[in-house]
Amino acid sequence: MSSASDQKRLIVVTAPSGSGKTTIVRHLLAKYNSLAFSVSAATRARRAHEKHGVDYYFVSGETFRQWIDEDAFVEWQEVYTDQYYGTPRFEIERLHGLGRHVIFDIDVVGATNIKREFQDQAVVIFVKAPSMDAIIERLKSRKTETEQSLQKRIKKIERELQFADTFDYVLVNDNLEEALQRAEQIIEKEIT
């Protein structure tokens, strides 16, 4: 069996919304040049600060469904009605072709699917907020949620928390500096 450094890894950081996974991924990308961010495809509307091909590949529902038919995704799902997200195979191939380990910031279902397909090549880190109250507070502080969308997210979060122990690592983010340090330890163990 090859060692972790012999093959390009897939580092999947997953968590319910509001757990801090994006902050952790950004930190790891800034610290480790051997990591490259996997850009997902999405059919949702682009937010003002987002860039096509950097934050997401923003595509139409028609294009997304065509890619599904062509088996162009490693994983995909309809997260909310008519809002599709997925990881294009070409993105992983592109980044591995550049000699980089691929890091993902995706939801629990996507993480499960990547782990199923790539098995030991994929390392999944589940980021967990210290409590449901902390998650709700973080989501409210974003000021991007209506009460209805917040309730939808809470239901989804409750389902996602049930998967925590099925992944390679569970990282509790109750102190950001400690969580970042623990994430670094995981990366150093897995890719060096």
List Cβ neighbours of 173 (8 Å cut-off, separation of 6 or more).
15, 19, 20, 24, 127, 128, 129, 130, 179
Q: Which of 188, 169, 85 has the alpha carbon at shortest distance from 125?
A: 169
49 falls within a domain: yes
Task: Give the per-residue pLDDT at 6.
Answer: 57
Task: Give the per-residue pLDDT at 5.
Answer: 42
**pLDDT values of the chain reduced to their tens digit, one per residue, 192 residues:** 344 445 899 999 998 877 889 999 999 999 999 999 999 999 999 999 999 999 899 999 999 999 999 999 999 999 878 899 999 999 999 999 999 999 999 889 899 999 999 999 999 999 998 777 877 787 777 777 788 877 887 888 888 888 888 999 999 999 999 999 999 999 999 997
Q: What is the pTM of this model?
A: 0.83
Task: Give the per-residue pLDDT at 102.
Answer: 98
3 falls within a domain: no
Pairing assessment for the beta strands 101-106 and 56-58 based on DSSP bridges: unpaired
CA–CA separation, 168 and 120 (whole Å): 10
125 falls within a domain: yes
| Residue 44 belongs to domain spanning | 10-191
99 falls within a domain: yes
User: Structural domain tally of the chain?
Assistant: 1
CA–CA separation, 73 and 187 (whole Å): 25
1 falls within a domain: no
CA–CA separation, 146 and 153 (whole Å): 10
Task: Give the per-residue pLDDT at 2.
Answer: 41
4 falls within a domain: no
**Two structure tokens written together for 114:** 């990547």
List Cβ neighbours of 132 (8 Å cut-off, separation of 6 or more).
154, 157, 158
CA–CA separation, 149 and 156 (whole Å): 11
2 falls within a domain: no
Task: Give the per-residue pLDDT at 3.
Answer: 42
CATH number at residue 90: 3.40.50.300
CA–CA separation, 24 and 4 (whole Å): 21
Single-letter residue type at 141? S
